[in-house]
Chains A and B, each alone.
Chain A
């Protein structure tokens, strides 16, 4: 979106020859990631989604990531999307940072409680993950393990608050101190097309208040509805506080389109 931010930072393309080396710290930035830099410069950012393999071979992750090389500012590693079991998002992100890719780690509340999630956040940040996307997650009933126990200890909004607190106050949810906080750029998802439609912008505002700095929307096919949503978000001043990335995607088949 066309948010204008003070563009004092050097372009991410201009710095560093080693793609795997972390970018330098910049004032006012909460991460060292490429995505945040591109967005804060007021440029158009592109993120893509990597569908995680059902495999223990890192080469399968690299092969999928190489398709995006040079084209995107962040690669989303999904966390058991559709409640199906795949390689974990932490592991995919760790593999991607080794190769110099900039991953966006998706965290779903379905599978972990607050202890596991905070541990993963610290671990992923230590492995060089600069972007995290907080999701509620699909219900287990949608997936291939419908008999599993759904956790949902946190929800996407309280999860944002938990990670924001770790980053900004250097504390776990329990209040215990961290020695080094995770420097991450926090994201959330939003679906402007699901009922209650009038509540959606309000929910976006809640996510931003809880800590979301960027938002990735669901695939958008219904443009009039998206316009209404964005107009509402603009009226509420949300586009000033947060970067909104609109989801677009090709239809896999005529059947999906219907």
Chain B
């Protein structure tokens, strides 16, 4: 049953699941979901406020620096995988792309009795964390939102820029 761990299930390459009870930042982020939710709400207002300016600069020109900044910030805090269609606000600030099955709508049936992952017995289940995070959040009920299948073309793209674009009715191209 317990075959040797293969990192192949994790994309992009090279990210190993955090060992249990280690002070990984992403678990800290879940514990402080309410604070970070408020921080993001303010940040989103700033994004939307500057969107018309960004539209004038040009979405294409902003894409690379935005994606780089987003990858650094969210990668550190949430172990973000840059799926390009961020659902963190609906997943208790626990990045669903860290689930080895990339489940975006809830935990699978295989979660262990101790709340750890079926595939990686040492990793706390992303969705157990998501549920805990959502209980702390003001808009935690967004956990019930159904996430559509991933658009794999958006991998690596900046989700923040997409938010700005949507706010000025730009859509994606």
Residues of chain A within 8 A (CB-CB) of B149 are 114, 153-154, 158, 162, 173
* Cross-chain pairs A/B with CB under 8 angstroms, 18 sampled: A110-B101, A114-B149, A136-B103, A139-B100, A141-B6, A153-B150, A155-B104, A155-B105, A156-B105, A158-B149, A161-B148, A173-B149, A189-B109, A195-B128, A196-B107, A196-B127, A199-B131, A202-B143
Q: Using A158-B147, A202-B143 as known contacts, say yes or no to A218 and B109 having CB atoms under 8 A apart.
A: yes
Residues 200-214 of A at the B interface (beta carbon under 8 Å):
202-203, 205-206, 209-210
| Distance in angstroms between the alpha carbons of A138 and B103 in the assembled complex | 12
Say yes or no: A155 contacts B101, CB within 8 Å.
yes
A109 and B132 alpha carbons, distance in the complex (Å): 26
Give 18 new A-B contacts, CB below 8 A, not counting A141-B100, A158-B146, A196-B111.
A136-B103, A138-B110, A139-B101, A150-B100, A150-B101, A152-B103, A155-B103, A157-B106, A157-B146, A190-B109, A194-B113, A195-B114, A196-B107, A196-B125, A198-B131, A199-B106, A206-B146, A210-B146
**Residue among A138, A155, A157 with max Cβ neighbours from chain B (10 Å):** A155
B3 within 8 A of A: yes
- In contact, A146 and B109 (Cβ under 8 angstroms): no
The reply to whether B3 and A146 form a contact with Cβ atoms under 8 Å apart is yes
Tell whether A142 pairs with B6 under 8 Å between CB atoms, given A157-B105, A199-B107.
no
B9 at the interface (CB under 8 A from A): yes
Known: A147-B6, A202-B143, A218-B109. A138 touches B125 (CB 8 A): no
Tell me which residues from 102 to 125 in chain B have a Cβ below 8 Å from any Cβ of chain A.
102-115, 118-119, 125
Tell me the smallest distance from the CB of B167 to a CB of chain A, in Å: 25
B50 proximal to A (CB < 8 A): no
Q: Which residues of A contact B119 (CB under 8 A)?
A: 139, 141-142
Contacts of A190 in B (CB 8 A): 109
Interface residue ranges, A against B (CB under 8 Å): 109-110, 114, 136-142, 146-147, 149-150, 152-158, 161-162, 173, 189-191, 194-196, 198-199, 202-203, 205-206, 209-210, 218
B5 near A141: Cβ-Cβ < 8 Å: yes
Task: Assess the B110–A194 pair: CB atoms within 8 A.
Answer: yes
Shortest distance from the beta carbon of A84 to any chain B beta carbon, whole Å: 11
- In this complex, what residue of B is CB-closest to A139? B119
Q: Which of B4, B102, B107, B143 contacts A194 (CB 8 A)?
A: B107
Chain B residues near A156 (CB, 8 Å)?
105, 108
Return chain B residues, CB-CB under 8 Å to A141: 3, 5-6, 9, 100, 119
Give every chain B residue within 8 A of A194 (Cβ-Cβ).
Answer: 107, 109-113
